[in-house]
Amino acid sequence: MNEVFLAGCGLACALGKDIPSALRMLQAGGVAPQSLSVGPALAWPYFAIPDPQPDWYARARHLCQQVVMESSANNRNIPLFIASCSLNIGAFEDGTAPEEDCLQFSEMLTEWLAWQGPVYWISTACTSSSNAILAALSCLRNGHAQEALVLGVELINRYTCAGFGAMQLLDTRRPRPLAADRAGLVLGEAVAALRLSCETSPWRICGGANVVDGCDPAGARAEAVSQMCQRALADGGANADDIDLIKLQAAGSPGNDPIELEGLREIFPQLPSLISFKAEIGHTLGASGAAELALLTACIDQRIWPAARYATDPAFNAGFAPRLPAVRYLMSNILGFGGGHATVILEHRS
C-alpha cells in the first residue's frame, strides 16, 4: 500500500481569497459574518468569500481556477474528486434558468480547469469533501494513481441558507461553538483544493473513516462518532494516545456539539487539544472537510493560531487550545446531514 501525502492546498473562504490572505485575516482577529437575505424580511448571518463579482458563474470559475492553481495541481490528467452539495443553485437565483441536467455544473468545472483525467462528483452533504479525501486516499494507496485532486465547492445561495433556517438550525449571531449560549450554525462559502500525492511531503494522510448512521437523518450520534474514531485509528495505524489535536466539527449546534464531545470521550478519555474553525469561516457544508483541513495545516505550518473569543461551556470541561500545540498526529472531523460522520488523520513529519 502506498503512502499518501497532502502535497498542496488552495483555499478561498470568508477569511480571504487565498491561504496567505486567510492567515493574515485570522491573525488580525478574523471577520464577522455578513447578512444574507433569503426572503422578504428574512436574513441570516453568512460568511461570504470577499470576492464581489456579480456574475455567479464568472465568480465560481475564477475561484475554482485560483484555488486549483494555489494547490499547484499542474497535472490535469490525474483523478479529480469534486465535492459539493449545493451545486450551482446560486446561479439560478440570479435569474439564470434552472438546468434540468444537474451534472452540467461539474462538467463546467471540468471545462474551466481543462481537466483531462477522470472526474468523480461526491455529494454526501456536509461530509462531501471528507468523503472525497477518503476516496482519493484509497485510489492512491491502492496504486490506481500517483496524484489526485480534491476540490470542495460550496458557493453562496439563498436556498441552502433558507433550508437550514427552516430547520431551525441557524444562529442569528456569530456562531459560538462549544459556548454555553451557542444557538446554532452560521453557514459560509468556500472553495478548497487539496492535492494528494504519493510523493513525500511533510503532511502524511494516515487514514480515515466515514460512518453513516440512519437513526437521526439530520444530526450526529455519539456512538457513531466513537465508531468513526475507532475505524479511522485502525485505518491509519494510530492509537488514540497518538492524536495531539482534534479539529472538531463543532459548529455551534446546541445538540450536536455535546454529542461530538461525548462520542470523542469514549475513545479519548483525556481529550487532546481541540480547535474549531466554524466561528472563523462558518459551516461551509460540502466544502468544509477540505477547507478546514487546508486552513488547519496552513495554521500549523505558519504557526498562526486563532485567538479564543469567548469562554466555552464549563459543563463540557473542554476548551479550545489557546495556542498552537505541538502536533504530530491530528484528526479532522466533519459530521453532517444524512447521518454522516467522517474524519481523516494526518501525521506531520518534520
Partner 1 sequence: MNGWQIIGRSALNPPPDNWRQALAIRLGHKPRRIGTWAELVLYGALCCLENAGEFTSSASTLPANALISLASPRGPMQALCDSLVEAQDGQPLPLGFLQGQANQALAHLCKALNWQGDARYLTTRHPLDALRLACQSRPKGGVLLGWVSEDEPASSQWLRLVPATAQRFAPLPATLAELMDTSLNSFTLEG
Nearest distance from C-beta of residue 15 to partner 1, angstroms: 27
Task: Indicate the SS3 state at residue 61.
Answer: helix
Nearest distance from C-beta of residue 160 to partner 1, angstroms: 9
- Continuous segment of H or E residues that includes residue 25: helix 19-27
Nearest distance from C-beta of residue 314 to partner 1, angstroms: 32
Nearest to 250 by CA among 313, 330, 157: 313
Cell 479519548 -> residue: 268
Nearest to 176 by CA among 187, 185, 165: 185
Nearest distance from C-beta of residue 211 to partner 1, angstroms: 6
* Contact window for partner 1 (CB under 8 A) among 147-155, 177-185, 208-216, 272-280: 208-216
Nearest distance from C-beta of residue 87 to partner 1, angstroms: 9
DSSP collapsed to 3 states, 287-335: HHHHHHHHHHHHHHHHCCCCCCCCCCCHHHCCCCCCCCCCCCEEEEEEE
> What value, to the nearest 5°, has the Cα angle with vertex 30 and ends 277 and 202?
55
The C-alpha atoms of residue 259 and residue 74 are separated, in whole angstroms, by 41
* Contact window for partner 1 (CB under 8 A) among 63-71, 176-184, 204-212, 246-254: 204-212
Residue pair 37/161 in contact by the 8 Å Cβ criterion? no
| Nine-digit cell string for 307 | 485567538
Given CA atoms 56, 57, 58, 60 in this order, what sign does their dihedral have? positive
- Let me know if 231 is exposed, middle or buried by CB neighbors in 10 A (0-12, 13-18, 19+): middle
Binder to partner 1 among 135, 183, 198, 321 (CB under 8 A)?
135
Which residues from 67-126 bind partner 1, rule CB under 8 A?
85, 89, 92, 98, 100-103, 106, 118, 120-125
Nearest distance from C-beta of residue 5 to partner 1, angstroms: 18
Nearest to 283 by CA among 328, 310, 250: 250
| Nine-digit cell string for 42 | 428574512
Nearest to 184 by CA among 90, 315, 48, 279: 279
* Contact window for partner 1 (CB under 8 A) among 6-14, 23-31, 57-65, 334-342: 334-342
- Continuous segment of H or E residues that includes residue 83: strand 80-83
* Contact window for partner 1 (CB under 8 A) among 37-45, 69-77, 263-271, 326-334: 37-45
Size of the site for partner 1 (CB under 8 A): 49
Residue 217 vs 322, nearer CB to partner 1 = 217
Using CB under 8 A as the binding rule, whether residue 144 contacts partner 1 is answered as yes
Q: Which residues pair with 275 in a beta bridge?
A: 247
Residue 118 vs 255, nearer CB to partner 1 = 118
**Largest interatomic CA distance in the chain:** 56
Binder to partner 1 among 210, 249, 276, 312 (CB under 8 A)?
210
| Nine-digit cell string for 47 | 460568511
Give every CB contact of residue 322 below 8 A, 6+ residues apart in sequence. 308
Residue 71 vs 227, nearer CB to partner 1 = 227
Binder to partner 1 among 74, 142, 172, 239 (CB under 8 A)?
142
Residue pair 23/298 in contact by the 8 Å Cβ criterion? yes
Which residues from 223-282 bind partner 1, rule CB under 8 A?
224, 227
Nearest distance from C-beta of residue 113 to partner 1, angstroms: 18
Using CB under 8 A as the binding rule, whether residue 162 contacts partner 1 is answered as yes
Residue 187 vs 300, nearer CB to partner 1 = 187
* Contact window for partner 1 (CB under 8 A) among 64-72, 137-145, 240-248, 266-274: 137-145
Residue 166 vs 180, nearer CB to partner 1 = 166
For partner 1, the binding residues (CB under 8 A) are: 38-40, 42, 85, 89, 92, 98, 100-103, 106, 118, 120-125, 131, 134-135, 138-139, 142, 144, 158-159, 162-163, 165-167, 209-215, 217-218, 224, 227, 337-340
